[in-house]
Amino acid sequence: MTSGLKVINPGTHTTLQDWGRFGYQHLGVPVSGALDLECFELANALVGNPDNTASLEILYFGPTFEVTQKTIRIAVAGYGTSIEITGPEPARYPAWRSLDLVQGQTFRILLEGTSTSAYMAVAGGFDIPSTLGSLSTYRRAGLGGQQGRPLQAGDTLPLSDSNSPVGHNVQLSLPPYDPSQPIRVIWSIQKDWFTEQSLNTFVSEPFIIQPESDRMGCRLAGPEITHKETSDIISDGIATGAIQVPGSKQPIIMLSDHQTTGGYPKIANVISADLPRMGRIKPGQEIRFAVVDVAGAEQIRRDQHAKLVRMKQNLDPVSEQVGIDLKVLYEANLISGVVDDSE
């Protein structure tokens, strides 16, 4: 039997993802990759992996695994997420820290907070070959990941040899995530295809995330966004975060698995610094858009990157105290406002 991580319950949609598959878009191959690249990189940093090591993207209901290897070190990055060890000695640990597990232990990832996604990295990474330079799963063409598909019960994910825990476990302190902030966009190439009134509506009215959303696109419902004439354009390229408006007059935000080209007018594009937030957003949630200019968006991205680098360099050792974990309570909104400042 292969040793590694055995999938007891795959969760709703758990896939291997990395930065994505670059250099094949001109052949029609989507980039794919982690929806929330920020949490993806933080999970890797917590277990000491290089930034682009493939990890598990967990959407909605989290998976349950059994450790079938002597020892492993894992870390989960996700807002309101925790790791629950089940079996004879149950325990619960918050996300944003590394954790050592031994053979025979069973654990599940719980997503209970403000986000729909979390990333689980394993020290040393998975021993699975890449496809066209990436381990990112693209289901439609069966590329990357575990046989080109989401995890299934009974799968065993083999781990690389170098995965034994080394050194202290580490943790990160993060400010809580505020999903109510507007999503920043720049106007895109077919802005002029829309009526002046629709452009105003787009930036002033809220939209609701629809349940049909997936890794390809986030569907919105809200006031109608009207084209001046037609909703058919000559197909052109699509950047991640592009906001297309088809004949239904309801916008769709293109996410990691989006097609490389498309034939609907693009009104705006989510700025790259806010794409990680699109990976956290929940169906039913309300979002608003705020417009920035291109140079501003580029600067926001560079600042955000610098901040991420600093976070990865400032990991604290974990103090192994047993007791109520204030951080978990805080993130789950069980308590509000006052948090012990020794935390």
Judged by CB under 8 A, does residue 26 bind another protein? yes
Which of residues 33, 241, 276, 279 is near another protein by CB under 8 A?
A: 241
The DSSP output letter for 206 is -
Q: Tokens 């309801």 appear where?
A: 250
Which runs of consecutive H residues, i.e. helices, occur in the chain? 37-46, 196-204, 275-278, 294-313, 326-331
Question: What is the C-alpha to C-alpha distance for residues 125 and 187, in angstroms, rounded to an integer?
Answer: 39
260 binds another protein (CB under 8 A): yes
Which token pair is 173? Answer: 């302190």
Q: Given the complex with another protein, which of 15 and 269 has the nearer CB atom?
A: 269
From the list 22, 204, 214, 228, which residue makes contact with another protein (rule: CB under 8 A)? 22
290 is a contact residue toward another protein (CB under 8 A) = no
Q: Closest CB to another protein among 116 and 131? A: 131
Q: Binding segment for another protein among 185-193, 206-214, 280-288, 323-331 (CB under 8 A)? A: 185-193
Contact with another protein (CB under 8 A) among 261, 290, 335, 339: 261
* Binder of another protein out of 3, 8, 9, 24 (CB under 8 A): 24
Query: Min. distance of Cβ 296 from another protein in angstroms?
Result: 9
Q: Of 35 and 170, which has the nearer Cβ to another protein? A: 35
Contacts of 329 (CB under 8 A, 6+ apart): 335
Q: Closest by alpha carbon to 36, among 249, 282, 232?
A: 282
Cα(141)–Cα(270) distance, rounded to whole angstroms? Answer: 26
Considering beta carbons, is residue 72 or 270 the nearer one to another protein? 270
Using CA atoms, how far apart are residues 323 and 335, in angstroms rounded to an integer? Answer: 16
* Residue 189 burial by Cβ neighbours in a 10 Å radius (0-12, 13-18, 19+): middle
Element (H, E) at 86: strand 81-86
Give the one residue of 140, 168, 228, 307 binding another protein; rule: CB under 8 A.
140
Instruction: Name which position in 143, 151, 216, 267 contacts another protein (CB under 8 A).
Output: 143
Q: What is the largest CA-CA distance in the chain?
A: 65
Cβ-defined contacts of 326-331 (< 8 Å, 24+): 327/94, 327/96, 328/82, 328/92, 328/94, 330/176, 331/79, 331/80, 331/94, 331/113, 331/176
Shortest reach from residue 4's CB to another protein, in Å: 23
Specify whether the backbone of 241 is left (phi greater than 0), alpha (psi in -120 to 50) or beta: left
Asked if 132 touches another protein (CB under 8 A), the answer is: yes
Closest distance of CB 233 from another protein, Å? 9
CB of 247 to another protein, least distance (A): 12
Residue nearer to another protein on the CB measure, 170 or 186: 186
Interface pick for another protein out of 224, 236, 286, 316 (rule CB under 8 A): 236
CB of 270 to another protein, least distance (A): 8
What is the binding site for another protein (CB under 8 A)? Answer: 22-30, 131-132, 140-143, 186, 188-189, 234-242, 259-262, 266, 269-272, 294-295, 297-298, 301-302, 305
